[in-house]
Structure 1
Amino acid sequence: MPSSLPLRHFLLALAVVAVWGTNFVVIRQALNHLPPLTFATLRFTFVLLPLVFFLKKPAVAWRNLAAYGVLIGAGQFGLLFVAMKGHISPGLASLLMQTQVFFTIGLAMRLSGERVQLYQWGALALAVAGILVIALHADASTVTPLGLLLVLLAALSWAGGNVTARAAGPVNMLAYVVWASLFSIPPLLVMALLLEGWPAMVAGVRAADLATWGAVLWQSVGNTMFGFACWGWLLARHPAATITPMALLVPVFGMGASALLLHEGLPGWKLLAAGLVLAGLAVNMLWPKIRALRAAAVA
């Protein structure tokens, strides 16, 4: 446990990453009945309603909310849900989505003109090696080439959403996500109608049982409302360098829950890929903190 983080705050952060990690198993269960884009449309509908009537619109431009809503809605979750409908296992999806960290850095540096530092190149090399291990073992039972591509595009969309949210400045993140959902729903609904069709959408909703609706609520209430609100609360009280490394546990929970609940196998190559990607994430997140501690010790 980080020394600067009180036990209650550490447990809260752990609860958030546990929800975010196990969420991939929840997604897979809901896709047994709901078409993926229909599922994504319902997810953001329940994020929007009824909270939009109780949370004040953040003081940001509508175009910023629209960009975030489309990137996170149609981009991140739309593509992720399509990929998880038979193209990638939940455990691998939870791992590959964390590549958004590197996409976020790349986009931010491109916009700011900053140069990538040596340790960031090393971190990226480790993560890319992990992705190559996954690509070399791609098959219908774990991840197809299409599934790999869709999840990486979803991670890129998530990164675009991160950069957009950062441009919004300090805002109530829960209110920001809720109001941005106004712009997530229309493209998802249009895509669902065009690619899945109204009959399949209606059939999916009619076939949905209590567990499926529970998964939809878990997406909106647990993953979004609880997760974003608590994460934002923690970031407001502690340095980002203390909180953000906890996100390294998301794929640990994701792969663990998938293995435990869905009996997803954990062969050596998958563990190697996870180790490489997580090592890259760890180097990227922790190296600046380690360097700062060394500089303080010398001084």
Structure 2
Amino acid sequence: MPAVFVLIWSTGFVVARYAMPHAPPFTFLTVRYALSVLCFVAWVGWARVPWPSNRAQWGHLAVTGALMHAGYLGGVWSAVKLGMGSGLTALIVGLQPVLTAVWMSAQGGPVTRWQWLGLGLGFGGLVLVVSAKLSVGQEVTATTLSLAVLALLSITTGTLYQKRHVQPCDVRSASAVQLFAACCVSLPLACLEPQAMDWHPELIGAMAWSVLALSLGGSSLLYLLIQRGAATRVTSLLYLVPPCTAALAWLLFGEAITGATVLGTALTALGVSWVLRAPKP
């Protein structure tokens, strides 16, 4: 399941590359969330799975949906749309495993020495992987930097909040609630965007993949991983997303893979393996 999650999640930047020229960020994301909710509701009805049992759980799921979907994806897409390079955005958001471990450690959580070493090694590998995409000419403004940091804080807070407050429930009904909350947050922002959606074939393909693979597949797997595993171990998997994205960009767009990319991928994989295999304290 972790390997499938990383592969699916890595396609997010590929989807953004196809969709970004044809739609503003929050308009695209709002339509994506709405279609995903419809799919999940139909799935819940067909499979007759239960909805969350009480109002408190509905509220907790809504909070995680607003943070992990609207906050995270909205921040990333908006930062890239306004000119921040995807490499720098990935690097900032890639601080999530370290930020999660710092929080867990401050709360007396179980973060071992080997896990700290693995997190450091994994982040070093991440820097090498995205180094080819970093350049002095990238547009880094207070707005784009704030959006990237917002994305980082949103997914980190959402992960920790879900691990602490959300009780185990069916992933399909839980995802429907989360995505509905994300849609409610994104819709007012979409109404403020002046650009209309251009239903180009590339946009249609990106939307279909976003709904069927990223929302129904990737988001559901992330929910299950957080429910079943320690927060530090789960978030460390996100270190593997940029290397996997680089491989996809090479296959689909012919982007060069440098020696730094190969070395960074190896270091990242080694670091993640340390985090996942470290003995529990």
Fold in common (TM above 0.5): yes
Q: Residues 126 and 243 of structure 2 are in contact (CA less than 8 Å); yes or no, is this contact kept in structure 1?
A: no
> 2:52 maps to which residue?
58
Query: What corresponds to 1:30 in structure 2?
Result: 19
Write the distance in 1 (CA, Å) between the matches of 2:127 and 2:226. 33
Aligned residues: 267
Map 1:158-237 → 2, pairs under 5 A: 158-166=155-163, 167-194=165-192, 196-197=193-194, 200=195, 203=196, 205=197, 207-229=198-220
Return closer, same or farther for 1:278/1:87 CA change in 2, 3 Å cut-off. Answer: farther
Q: Which amino acid aligns with 1:283?
A: W
Q: Is the 8 A contact 2:75 2:148 kept in 1?
A: yes
What CA distance in whole angstroms lies between the structure 1 residues aligned with 2:221 and 2:68?
A: 19
Point out the more displaced range, 32-41 or 256-265.
256-265
Matched, 1:157 2:154: yes
* Aligned partner letter, 2:152: A
Secondary structure, counterpart of 2:52 in structure 1:
coil
Give me the identity figure in percent.
28
Bigger radius of gyration among the two = 1
- Match in the other structure for 1:7: none
What's the TM-score, normalizing by structure 2? 0.75
- The alpha carbon displacement at 1:130 in A equals 4.8
Alpha-carbon distance in structure 2 between the residues aligned to 1:228 and 1:255: 21
Q: CA 1:140–1:125 in 2, change beyond 3 Å: closer, same or farther?
A: same
Q: Which residue of 1 aligns with 2:64?
A: 68
Q: Identify unmatched segments of 5+ residues in structure 2.
A: 45-49
1:256 positional shift: 0.5
1:71 deviates by 0.4
Stretches of structure 1 lacking an aligned partner (at least 5 in a row):
1-11, 293-299
Q: CA deviation at 1:106?
A: 3.1
Which of these residues, 229, 232, 255, is aligned with residue 264 of structure 1? 255
Asked if the contact 1:259–1:266 (Cα under 8 Å) also holds between the matched residues in 2, the reply is: yes
- When normalised by structure 1's length, the TM-score is 0.71
* Superposed CA offset, 1:242-294 (max 9, x none): x96876654333110112222333334455555554443332222237xx9xx
Out of 95, 103, 124, the residue aligned to residue 119 of structure 2 is 124
The verdict on how the C-alpha distance between 1:54 and 1:270 changes in structure 2, with shifts beyond 3 A counting, is closer
1:139 aligns with 2:135: yes
1:169 maps to a residue whose letter is Q
Q: Tell me if the contact between 2:126 and 2:239 (Cα under 8 Å) persists in the aligned partners.
A: no
Matched, 1:282 2:276: no
